[in-house]
Structure 1
């Protein structure tokens, strides 16, 4: 594989949304353009609450057997909840929702140096960042041959500062811009209506994102997920996922309170390490309190 690393993502599930109205059904619900998913392009999107809070995220793949159908690479632990939510919106739409997780799963491919991974066969570029690599939906039998270097995959993801909904997002609490969905190609602000659009678009337009998920280097022991982050005894955020080998975590931080501050998570120190794709959003203008 020319140095490309691969891993079967055991925590992911696969849904098929089929029927003659499958794409138009999703188009009116999700944050990105369902029509853009094709044989050579995957789409990253989310489903929000009407109040604009995060519920689910997923990757859309075109079903090669049916040009109207889409395959959703989604959080396997919450797949029943996603089916329930989609069914609630389905009403009379000509749509069939099927859980394919018993026969299909998800694979990730990446280069440790952050270079892009070529799309080959069912493997498509990860739409969030080129450096993330590629993903594919494969039969379970094909996944077994890939192995499961989940630690390596998590290290790669956390190194790039990209959140994982299963570990870093809080359903019905987190706002999508807080976890950088707007910067990771997860929201199309020009596609037309989606659930939660009004709040999301207004927040983006006003530049009023008070918090962002930020990668941080750790000085000391790796803090556990949920550890409060403090600056001079004032709570400014929360630690989420982390990697002990690289001493790095993702933390949701108040942007207006971290500039030039000394950050602590328990007895350990945190030093934000801002990647280039996130940097323009992290430094507020002088005098701007972030909200």
Structure 2
């Protein structure tokens, strides 16, 4: 079971009788679906529906929560959450020295299991990806292996795959992986997200990119027929992630136009967990 230490992480710790209700009314995931011992993706949005901060959310005990986020964004995240606290009975503290490890099965057999840590629900259950906190584990894998795992399973993270304030939840498939509770009621930015969902107006989607040769560096444009499709995010050899204009990608697919990452011909595919397919003219929902 490979284990890697993930640097550049911090956490917000919330506790108190109003912690759950505050989070339920502010952030994107539905806390009623968050079980003990699991970590689920989430975000705090702007009123315009753009992702300001993304994180992994988990329960830490009676009424307590950890929001595992990027260290560089943690102080601003803490300040923003303090603004929303108002008179709620919630303690919000910043855990800056947050030692984070991730472990996973080296294959999908699931023959070995580890009940420690928090099950990362962004990945297939058979892979048994877990998040661990504290310095008790010994890392025996490289961070690059973790990023390759994210690429393989279509898991985007801010900083590597998009900039804060530059993506909607639908762009990074939060409507597909439980990162946004579309039926839970109000949260910051909910009106925009709900309208986008019900009108089917999401034109950008996270896709997996596979090159005929090694992909160029992150930030390299994707194009087809001279039209921009998106920009490479995380790159791992011949595979990578990108948030892509699926309407243009579908049109290129229908017309038989090659898709290029810089000068490297690539194929685009939808992550296995997502319920849509690429078609001529765009993306069609299948579930």
Do these two structures clear the TM 0.5 threshold for a shared fold by scoring above it? Answer: yes
The within-5 A match list for 1:94-113 is 94-102=89-97, 104-113=98-107
The within-5 A match list for 1:1-291 is 4-64=1-61, 67-102=62-97, 104-114=98-108, 118=113, 120-121=115-116, 123-130=117-124, 133-139=128-134, 141-143=135-137, 145-147=138-140, 149-244=142-237, 247-259=238-250, 260=253, 261-278=257-274, 280-284=275-279
Name the SS of the counterpart of 1:42 in structure 2. Answer: strand
TM-score normalised by length of structure 1: 0.87
| 1:288–1:149 distance in 2 versus 1, CA, 3 Å | closer
**Count, aligned residues:** 277
Name the SS of the counterpart of 1:186 in structure 2. Answer: coil
| 1:119–1:30 distance in 2 versus 1, CA, 3 Å | farther
Q: CA deviation at 1:179?
A: 0.9
Residues 16 and 97 in structure 1, CA contact (< 8 A), matched pair in contact too? yes
In 1: Cα distance, 2:164 partner to 2:109 partner:
32
| 1:56–1:101 distance in 2 versus 1, CA, 3 Å | same
- Where do 5+ consecutive residues of structure 1 fail to align? none
Q: CA deviation at 1:42?
A: 2.8
| 1:68–1:242 distance in 2 versus 1, CA, 3 Å | same
Of stretches 187-196 and 92-101 in structure 1, the one that deviates more from structure 2 is 92-101
In 1: Cα distance, 2:281 partner to 2:148 partner:
36
Q: CA deviation at 1:31?
A: 0.8
Tell me how large the CA RMSD over aligned residues is.
2.2
- Where do 5+ consecutive residues of structure 2 fail to align? none
| 1:148–1:101 distance in 2 versus 1, CA, 3 Å | farther
In 2: Cα distance, 1:235 partner to 1:288 partner:
15
Q: CA deviation at 1:86?
A: 0.6
Name the SS of the counterpart of 2:174 in structure 1. Answer: coil
In 2: Cα distance, 1:289 partner to 1:142 partner:
44
Name the SS of the counterpart of 1:190 in structure 2. Answer: coil
In 2: Cα distance, 1:114 partner to 1:161 partner:
16
TM-score normalised by length of structure 2: 0.88
Residues 34 and 43 in structure 1, CA contact (< 8 A), matched pair in contact too? no
